[in-house]
């Protein structure tokens, strides 16, 4: 994405206040929904004393830590920083754009849900894709940030849940 394309996208969305409000609200709502579902999901595994609880906990925690360290080292500028244009999703954080940790987290959680329950996993993948789209159209990530976040989340889930 170049400066003109980013500015056009942000200005187009901001010129439609209901659309901008929808993007901001949907971004918050979908993020909260993922974390509520994951919390309930993990609590249910713990209550049932399901052996998968620790596998899922370790997979998500270790991969989240690794992605967080990588982001700090790589420290890619966010689109609104690089292009000097205000994003639709209000954010003023500097750097740490690559990969998207929101998208990574939701995809690794989707993999954990898929590991235990096909229907819940599919629902979580749909929500994860929605979050990826919202993070780009909201102006806080590049397409490459969300694609990398999704791929790393899926790969982390496969390695941690299916291969180890």
Q: For 76-111, what is each residue's pLDDT tens digit?
A: 999 999 999 999 999 989 999 999 999 999 999 999
Q: For 66-83, what is each residue's pLDDT tens digit?
A: 999 999 999 999 999 999
Q: Are 123 and 40 in contact (CB under 8 A)?
A: no
Answer positive or negative: Cα dihedral of 94, 95, 101, 102: positive
Evaluate if residue 1 carries a pLDDT over 90. no
């Amino acid at each position: 994405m170049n400066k003109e394309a980013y500015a056009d996208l942000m200005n187009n969305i901001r010129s439609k206040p209901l659309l901008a409000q929808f993007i901001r609200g949907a971004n918050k709502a979908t993020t909260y929904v993922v974390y509520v579902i994951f919390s309930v999901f993990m609590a249910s595994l713990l209550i049932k004393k399901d052996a998968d609880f620790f596998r899922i906990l370790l997979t998500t925690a270790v991969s989240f830590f690794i992605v967080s360290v990588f982001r700090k080292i790589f420290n890619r500028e966010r689109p609104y920083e690089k292009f000097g244009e205000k994003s639709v999703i209000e954010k003023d954080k500097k750097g740490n754009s690559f990969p998207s940790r929101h998208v990574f987290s939701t995809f690794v959680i989707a993999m954990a849900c898929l590991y235990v329950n096909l229907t819940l996993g599919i629902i979580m993948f749909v929500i994860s894709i929605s979050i990826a789209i919202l993070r780009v159209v909201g102006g806080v990530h590049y397409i490459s940030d969300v694609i990398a976040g999704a791929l790393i989340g899926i790969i982390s889930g496969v390695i941690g849940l299916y291969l180890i």
